Structure 1
Amino acid sequence: MFKWLLTEKSSKWFIGIGFLIIFIGLIIFRWNEHFFDWDVAIKSDKVGQLGDFIGGIVGSIWALAGVILFYVALNEQREDIKTNKEVLIAQVKALEQQIEEFELQREELAETREVFKIQSETLKLQQFESTFFNLLGIHQNNISDMDVTQEKLKPGADIHDPRLGDYENISSTGRDCFVFFKERLESIYKSNKQYWAWDTQKYKDEKHLALYSYIDFFKQYQPDLGHYYRTLYHIFKFVNVSDILDKNRYTSIVRAQLSNDELVLLFYNGITEYGEKFKPLIEDFHVFKNLNLDSLLNLSEHKPYYSESAYKKINLKEKENLVYLKSWNKKHWTHKKKH
């Protein structure tokens, strides 16, 4: 009942009732009266009573209708505010949901970038390893293609008075060639040392003897050894200039392929002009870690030709000391030459 009164429809009813009351009042007050007779004087008391009647009753009814309309408008405004608030809350929730979706998309994009990065690194590693093992295969093929023939006395032949038929040709292939190469280098070194002992002009120092002996040896077998060293150098250089983090892992694979005789020859090649570019890589990657130092032509004299890093992996402090020592030696000998 009260809810119906407080509606826009009820206010319209009150307004209609007001007009109806006005109409009825006019009829009542007009009864037996001559309102439209211009010759009769207007009865002010009757008009005043009509005005009081309309103002008292109809005015009150219309005032109530106005209050109801105001209440309805206020209530509708309150409902609109509530609806707008709900819409705003829904929009905020939708916005928050969009933010969460954007956050998820950003995380997915970050994960996608990480996956692409891993795939790129994996592809780069695969390309590196493919090239690395191809180079290593070429190096092994070079060794397999080596073939050396040497002339030796037959067992039982007189070494002091050999005859023509006392000699036989012995062939070495593959890695066995390096056994012969090392024996040949030792023979040249010992021969030079024996003859140079009487020639002080020729025998300057031990390093000069080692260099001269190796160069004499290398010139005899350069067709086989030159290709061997170039390929081996490019394998280490390829690893060194690459972006691979664990470079020692791959250089250790190469190092494991080298026999002791190969390491001895590589040792003396590195101190000549033929191996001057290879020597820093030998020291950086500890190539002589597995070298039997007793196999050198002169251990005590020749070992210092390389820094300690060539023989083992050194820590940072030792490396700093070696760098300082090299720098000091360079300045010391430069100063000595000037004076």
Structure 2
Amino acid sequence: MRAIPFLSLLIIFIMLWLIGGHIFYKQWWILPNFFGYSDLENTFSPINALFAALASAGAVYAIIIQAYNFSIQQFEINFFNLLNIHISNKDKVKYDIFEDRSVNHDIFFEFYELLKIIYTKANNPDYEHTMPKIRISIQDIIDDRLDMYRDDYGLINKDRHDIFKICHNIFNECTENILSPYFRNFYHLLKYIENSNAKIKNQFTGILRAQINNYEYALLYYDSLMNGDAKLLRKQSKIKSLLEKHCMFHNLDKRILFDNYSAGKYKKCAFEHRIDIYIDSFLNAPKIIIKSLNFIYHDIL
């Protein structure tokens, strides 16, 4: 692919050489010069011009390649600097949710469990979680906010998406939106990859995916569905389209998703690479054909 710019320049310089010589001599000068109609030095002047043009094309191509490599190098430096900032921000996320917790706890697992507890309590008022006891201040917020939406029978009469939205707002209030900088930095990191050269996007999105554990994926999954972009009157967040485009949930274990799609859904490309989809379609094609033939056969009978 890198040879295409060089070949294009080569073709342009050859065309300029031919057209320029034709205008200067008012004829195609190469053959008459070989038969003595002109001086010997004029015989090879077009050839000299051709090699000079080729040399110029090579110099321009070298400059293009050097500029391309420099841009890639700058992108890699900036990307890994942003990635280090992202990892540093993740390590700084500290918050006490449960009264009794282990020393080597995973804060994202605890955030995930808190959101799961809030959602379960919203749908089942009598639910008693088996996790370590939630801090009293957080438990009071959960109970007070959910009681605001319950009817006389203790139920929340809203559709599933609205219930999950309520739960997510309560989750943000309980955690004091401590994850917001993490999600914003992740969005800008993914957007930086999106604005890069198309040839290296998959490579660096793979590096980014490798830094995310399963519970980070789950929280990112829900947060992107819940937070729309009101300024642009978008029905979905800007990060959602990027997550789908770059197949960011390829490594997500769907078994940990607890809401039965109450929060919403992503396109299939968010979980499967396009090549995987094509391969699956190719492998399933015989089965689809056989089922179609069986249907037609039984329909005729």
TM-score bin (small chain): 0.5 to 0.7
- What is residue 188 of structure 2 aligned with on the other side? 234
Q: 2:47 aligned to 91, 94, 100, which one?
A: 100
Q: Give the conservation status (yes or no) of the 8 Å contact 1:149–1:171.
A: no
Q: Give the conservation status (yes or no) of the 8 Å contact 2:165–2:263.
A: no
Structure with greater helix share of residues: 1
Q: Give the conservation status (yes or no) of the 8 Å contact 1:147–1:172.
A: no
- What is residue 250 of structure 1 aligned with on the other side? 204
In the alignment, does 2:68 pair up with 1:118? no
Does the C-alpha gap of structure 1 residues 247 and 283 become closer, same or farther in structure 2, counting only changes over 3 Å? same
SS in 1 for 2:124: helix
Structure 1 counterpart of 2:88, which letter? Answer: N
Q: Normalised by the size of structure 1, how large is the TM-score?
A: 0.56
Structure 1 counterpart of 2:185, which letter? Answer: T
Q: Give the conservation status (yes or no) of the 8 Å contact 1:289–1:312.
A: yes
Q: 1:224 aligned to 178, 186, 207, which one?
A: 178
**What do residues 222-280 of structure 1 show as CA deviations (whole Å, max 9, x unaligned)?**
45301100000001111112344331221121112111000000011011126712111
CA–CA separation in structure 1 for the residues paired with 2:170 and 2:243: 23
Provide the aligned length of Structure 1 versus Structure 2: 212
CA–CA separation in structure 2 for the residues paired with 1:236 and 1:311: 16
- The structure that has the greater radius of gyration is 1
In the alignment, does 2:295 pair up with 1:314? no
Q: Normalised by the size of structure 2, how large is the TM-score?
A: 0.63
User: Gaps spanning 5+ residues in structure 1: where?
Assistant: 1-87, 153-167, 319-339
- What is residue 256 of structure 2 aligned with on the other side? 295
SS in 2 for 1:258: coil
Q: Give the conservation status (yes or no) of the 8 Å contact 2:95–2:107.
A: yes
Structure 1 counterpart of 2:271, which letter? Answer: Y
CA–CA separation in structure 1 for the residues paired with 2:276 and 2:97: 47
Q: Give the conservation status (yes or no) of the 8 Å contact 1:211–1:268.
A: no
In the alignment, does 2:136 pair up with 1:189? no
Q: 2:164 aligned to 210, 227, 230, which one?
A: 210
- What is residue 8 of structure 2 aligned with on the other side? none
CA–CA separation in structure 1 for the residues paired with 2:50 and 2:205: 45
- What is residue 39 of structure 1 aligned with on the other side? none
- What is residue 283 of structure 2 aligned with on the other side? none
Structure 1 counterpart of 2:215, which letter? Answer: D
In the alignment, does 2:207 pair up with 1:277? no
- What is residue 7 of structure 2 aligned with on the other side? none
Structure 1 counterpart of 2:115, which letter? Answer: L
Does the C-alpha gap of structure 1 residues 193 and 172 become closer, same or farther in structure 2, counting only changes over 3 Å? farther
Q: Give the conservation status (yes or no) of the 8 Å contact 2:160–2:263.
A: no
In the alignment, does 2:107 pair up with 1:177? yes
CA–CA separation in structure 2 for the residues paired with 1:143 and 1:115: 42
- Pairwise CA RMSD of aligned residues? 2.8
- What is residue 218 of structure 2 aligned with on the other side? 264
% identical aligned pairs? 25
Mapping of residues 75-90 of structure 1, within 5 Å: 89=36
Query: Which shows bigger deviation, 208-217 or 307-316?
Result: 307-316
User: Gaps spanning 5+ residues in structure 2: where?
Assistant: 1-34, 126-149, 230-236, 279-301
Q: Give the conservation status (yes or no) of the 8 Å contact 1:270–1:279.
A: yes
Shift of 1:172: 5.8
